[in-house]
Amino acid sequence: MRRFEIKNGIMELNGKRILFRGVNRHEFSSVHGRCVTEEETELDIVTMKRNNINAVRTSHYPNQSFFYRLCDKYGIYVIDEMNLESHGAWEMVMSGRLPLEDHIPGSAPKWREAVLSRAEAMLRRDRNRPSVLIWSCGNESYSGENLRAAANYFRAMDSRPVHYESVVHDPAYSDTSDIFSNMYWPAESIRAALEKDSSRPAISCEYGHAMGSSFGGQDVYIRLADEVPSYQGGFIWDYIDQAITRTDRYGLKYQGYGGDFGDRPHDGDFSGDGIVDSLRRAPTPKMQEVKYLYQNLQIHIADRRIKIDNRNLFTNSGEYDCMVQVYREGVLLKENLLDTDVPPGESRMYVLPLWPDEEGMELNDWDPEFDEHDTEYAVVASFRLRRDEAWARAGYEVAFGQWRNGERPEPVHPDEPPEIIDSQWNLGVRGENFSVLFSKTMGGMVSYRYGGREMLDAVPRPSFWRAPTANDRGCKAPQRFAQWKLASLYPFEQNPDGLRPGEQTWKIEKGPNWVEMSYTCHMATAPRTTCVLAYRVFADGMVETTLSSDAPKILGPAPEFGVMLQMDADFRRLRWYGPGPAETYCDRKSGGRLGIWETTVEAGLGPNLVPQECGNHTDVRWASVTDENGLGLLFESRRMEFSALPWTPHQMECAAHPHELPAVHHTVIRAAAMQMGLGGDDSWGARPRPEYLLPEDAMTFRFRFRGIGG
């Protein structure tokens, strides 16, 4: 039995304030089009449950009957939306291109019966479904007496609240909706609106436009729901990419989108905005963030204690097993179960079961193994199902939290210098099992050999560009940052205006146990700017690489600040120590768990309909790129962003579909100080939040690499 009502401006389920951790869902199948099967629908709902999604808005029509039966079975809240949308018309009314009286359905009596007929059909079919909590009058059809009549019909026939978003644009009809609803408003705008009027509960019926590589910076909406009681969550747009399986002239299957069917005009890949790919093969990397942000058990670890905030409405934390683990640099040291008893809606603090009971002890005090300061430890608390559920087996993780302490030590190099061979045109450096060759005329490191194998397929270059994401295209980032692409594509090894007498673009310095070759690169920008790429080589084969530039002061922030290297495609195994297992970005990394992860280079491409920026990993301490025998390169830094893909950003940018990418010949590595955020408020103008842009100041990035294996 359940009771859903609005009390004192708050939506309550059985007397508890509800938070919608929701998604919008179109009924769509890559194989069956709009005729989604019951099996596909059940897979959707199971996937939602596994990723802490608790609600669906049926955008923008009633779903097939079995959908509601499955929501009843698994426990998914539903906003049931009637089949009414005249999207383009309301935009024309607001821009003054269409008279209000010509809007559909508006207030014209001739549309009244059609509107009420749709409302009645939905209510009579679905009113006995306990999963349905809210009736919705439709989508983006502005306002008018006909929609008000539909809302009043719902109220007359049923006790559930009524939702309709578009009246936010026309306050004269605000009584159509019992809920203050908006689409794609920044969290700051929602907060400001509720500070003026919080008499009605509020939701974002659409937010986090998940088109392509996106869903960055969406944690602000979760914090808003925690801080402002009248804001009660939102619904991500949307659940699944909408694309249809096609076969090209060469017999290759691919996912077709707007324009692939001879349709003109079209919206391109604009419907590729799901957190699940169009084939339902697996959640996209965006789902890692969704699952973390939507988890109902919030975990805060500090020193020897763990604070658990139980956001469940009716489930005690003790219904789950809580496993606490300690890792040293990604390697599990020990683990133990923690008994918890946090009632729904409450918070409690516990001493972690791995520490003794004495007060005031630091992490390094409790166990001799932790006396080493020059290393990094992580404590992870994981809540897991205690018993089998319809949607997952016992042991499945529903929530986690983590805390880290310490840093990895800097490397210690041999005291003796490497062997140096200096000639008119080249500088050679060699030691045991390695050799490096620098060209004085070709502008960089032309060879790094290790274990008798060449590691580089091309001269390393500064990297300031990424393959534009859907959000980048929407906010015109390629146009605004175009000079940085030129700087990446067309570096000048020498001053294009000619060298002054005695001037050279390279410099050699020697230290007690190293030799350094540095290059000044003149970049194809207006005004002309430069960067310096320096390589310091030690006798153990380690190459400390430093990129520095004042260009951001002149040109503004770049999409990326790093170095790009190319290896042979045989080097296809990627292993890293940092957040994972899915890709992370500076504004989409909350769900990444610190650990050691492994994948293949080609797997980094991901399921995007259009090739774009992907496969990045933030806060990487080390990463190795090797062949099947473990031979390759190890990259290290205090913290860096790192990716290894089969193509350069420029190659990916030129392909409209994944199957159009060129044959794989290389592994392309990008190590960077930072890459700008993905953004995600919308895909038609919103930029990444300012804190996720690179600084407009001089930048320096330092990392190391050396050969391993063999």
Q: Which residues are catalytic, by number? A: 140, 206
- Structure-token pair, residue 672: 């960077």
HEC profile for 256-276? Answer: ECCCCCCCCCCCCCCCCCCCE
> d(Cα 655, Cα 504) in Å, to the nearest integer?
39
89-95 own/partner pairs: CB under 8 Å, 24+ apart = 89/141, 89/142, 90/140, 90/141, 90/142, 90/166, 90/169, 93/142, 94/142, 94/169
Q: List C-alpha distances in Å: 571 to 115, 620, 627, 630.
A: 61, 19, 4, 9
Cα 341 from chain centroid?
A: 33
Which ranges in 331-383 belong to alpha helices (H)?
none
CB 607, CB 281: distance < 8 Å: yes
Name the nearest CA neighbour of 616 among 642, 592, 597, 649: 642
Phi-psi category of residue 351: left, alpha or beta, with phi > 0 → left and psi -120 to 50 → alpha? beta
**Of the candidates 18, 146, 24, which has an alpha carbon nearest to the alpha carbon of residue 89?**
146
* Contact call for residues 379 and 401 (beta carbons, < 8 A): no
Rounded Cα distance between 223 and 295, Å, is 13
Neighbours of 678 (CB within 10 A): 26
Q: Kindly compute the dihedral angle of the four CA atoms of residues 572, 573, 579, 582, in this order, to the nearest 10 degrees.
A: 60
Q: What is the DSSP letter of 687?
A: P
Q: Is the separation of the CB atoms in 492 and 522 below 8 Å?
A: yes
**Phi and psi at residue 428, in whole multiples of 5°?**
-105, 140
The Cα–Cα gap between 284 and 212 comes to 9
Cα 641 → chain centroid: 14
Which H or E element spans position 236? strand 231-236
Distance between CA atoms of 602 and 569, rounded to whole angstroms? 10
Reading the block at residue 638, the tokens are 């205090």
Rounding to the nearest 10 degrees, give the CA dihedral for residues 477, 478, 483, 484. Answer: 80
Closest CA to 245 of 281, 279, 280, 277: 279
d(CA 517, CA 515): 7
In a 3-state reduction of DSSP, which class is residue 348? strand
Assign 144 to helix, strand or coil: coil
